[in-house]
Amino acid sequence: MNDLVLVTGGTGFIAQHCIIALLNAGYRVKTTVRSLSREAEVRASLRTGGVEPGDRLSFSAAHLSSDDGWAEATVGCTYAFHGASPTPSGTYASEDEWIKPAVEGNLRVLRAARDASVKRVVLTSAFGAIGAGHKPLGRPFVETDWTDLSGNVAPYQKSKTLAERASWDFISREGGGLELASVNPTMVLGPALGPDYSHSIRTIKEMLEGQPGYPKIKTCVVDVRDVADLHLRAMTDPAANGERFLATSGEGLWLAEIAKLLKERMGVVARKVSTRVLPNLLVRSMALANPAMKGLVPLLGAKLDASGEKAQRVLGWAPRSREEAIVASAESLFRLGLIKG
């Protein structure tokens, strides 16, 4: 197997696990970074994940806010995984800071992929494009659901929704034969590969370091290694073309239930973990003084269950358990020396 696969945003948590999965499956990989000075950092993370890619991995400089570099990044690639996301500036970004670069970044990658005759792009979207802004459905969310932008939706989830919709619109109007599939993960956990880990794993880190309590928020969980596996399946399976796939393992858990599981499974090293649930009124009050917490308020008490049945049925995907993903996150943080105290 000698196909070259582009993975955008090679410094990212999901992207690095996708690179590992591709290399282990025999593919060559090209990845984009904002600055080529970060190549050594990416290679170090991949070594932590058990892979020494050598010349089977190459790097290309490209930024989602500019057309520069994307033609060079996509040339020669048979497939592409696009999960790179812009990071807005400031402690709490305006909606425009979230939405504009997310939408324009997706379109830049898709145009370049089309022009380079890439066969299929697998878009890393998010559960945030499916499950936000709704009143209770009385059932788990599925791939035909879209976030209701007329509801109370945080800027991040709004950006993911509009960026994914723009991608599907591009394919239908001017894709020129380019194929698209999307993977929509819930809370992505699993082994960190270095200090540049995901927001989701930061939640586990804060629990282990003694966060005094948690909002009443429910989330489904998926292991990053299974997210990478689903990307590979969506890349080559003919049945995946034009489809969305939720990446999730089992029913949702309240944050306090995740904390309880850590205490049960991690023993003495989880002695600082609290299982306290913060009253909704307190969280709403804290959000008034801390704008970064505003996005939590719409999620309070919401039962955000999602189903991964489609990916299992159509693509033969078999994810790890929620418990394994949670414990793998914690173990990796200790193994890498990233827990304080």
Asked if the structure places residue 234 within a domain, the reply is yes
In this structure, the number of other CB atoms found within 10 A of the CB of residue 135 comes to 8
Q: Is pLDDT of 60 > 90?
A: yes
Asked if the structure places residue 182 within a domain, the reply is yes
Q: Across all residues in the chain, what is the average pLDDT?
A: 93
Residue pair 220/305 in contact by the 8 Å Cβ criterion: yes
Q: Is pLDDT of 90 > 60?
A: no
Say what the pLDDT of residue 190 is: 98
Asked if the structure places residue 324 within a domain, the reply is no
Q: From residue 332, how far is each of 51, 89, 189, 211 by CA, in Å?
A: 16, 29, 11, 19
Model confidence at 341, pLDDT cuts 50, 70, 90, reads low
Tell me how far apart the alpha carbons of residues 187 and 26 are, in angstroms, rounded to a whole number: 28
Q: Which two tokens stand for residue 336?
A: 């890498």
Q: What DSSP state is assigned to residue 276?
A: P
Asked if the structure places residue 267 within a domain, the reply is no
Range of the domain at 20: 4-190+224-248+306-319
Q: Is pLDDT of 88 > 60?
A: no
Asked if the structure places residue 97 within a domain, the reply is yes
If one counts the domains in the chain, the total is 1
Q: Which CATH number goes with the domain that contains 186?
A: 3.40.50.720
DSSP 3-state of 239: helix
Mean pLDDT of the 197-204 span: 90
Asked if the structure places residue 202 within a domain, the reply is no
